[in-house]
């Protein structure tokens, strides 16, 4: 049986980094300037539920803040997904618990949702990541894999 993802969600997204992540290979450590953000699978489903709930709250609060006529979230890219910057704007302009969201994403990331050279991100790599780059990786994940699910609640907007 072949594993398939929902057709509207990509399998993975490569995210370039400006600060390297250390990766051990064949007894040597090398600097890697890219991580892969992978679509969650059934095994990750429970870990995504609270993340979905937090993002839904953010979108709802944002729609109340800017009003019904806002185009801010209607301007999706050509694939129909939100830009990570739009997700950041929603999260930082509403009362979403960013600490909880980040903690939950970090735990999810280390289960294989974020990989370095095909290996799940480990606690040392996570701890060494530049906070702004971790935020970028998180918003790439949210924009591409969680927001499409959440936006269905809002009628696909």
pLDDT of residue 82: 81
Helix, strand or coil, per DSSP, at residue 26: coil
Mean pLDDT of the chain: 86
Most confident of 18-22, 73-77, 151-155: 18-22
pLDDT of residue 29: 93
Most confident of 4-8, 12-16, 67-71: 12-16
The model's confidence at residue 2, banded by pLDDT at 50, 70 and 90, is very low
- The residue among 71 and 135 whose pLDDT is bigger is 135
- The residue among 4 and 93 whose pLDDT is bigger is 93
Check pLDDT > 70 for residue 5.
Answer: no
Q: What's this model's pTM, rounded to 2 decimal places?
A: 0.85
pLDDT of residue 25: 86
Distances 11 to 5, 36, 38, 147, 157 between C-alpha atoms, Å? 7, 10, 6, 15, 22
Domain boundaries, the chain: 41-111+121-154
pLDDT of residue 72: 55
Total residues belonging to the chain: 157
* Cβ-based neighbours of 131, under 8 Å, separated by 6 or more: none
Percentage of residues in the chain with pLDDT exceeding 70? 83
């Amino acid at each position: 049986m072949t594993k398939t993802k929902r057709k509207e969600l990509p399998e993975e997204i490569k995210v370039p980094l400006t600060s390297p992540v250390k990766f051990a290979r064949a007894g040597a450590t090398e600097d890697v300037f890219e991580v892969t953000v992978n679509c969650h699978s059934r095994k990750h489903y429970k870990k995504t539920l609270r993340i979905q709930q937090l993002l839904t709250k953010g979108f709802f609060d944002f729609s109340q803040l800017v009003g019904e006529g806002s185009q801010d979230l209607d301007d999706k890219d050509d694939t129909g997904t939100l830009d990570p910057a739009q997700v950041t704007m929603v999260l930082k302009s509403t009362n979403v618990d960013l600490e909880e969201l980040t903690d939950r994403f970090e735990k999810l990331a280390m289960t294989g949702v974020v990989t370095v050279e095909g290996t799940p991100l480990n606690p040392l790599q996570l701890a060494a990541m530049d906070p702004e780059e971790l935020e970028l990786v998180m918003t790439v994940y949210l924009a591409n894999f969680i927001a499409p699910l959440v936006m269905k609640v809002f009628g696909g907007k």
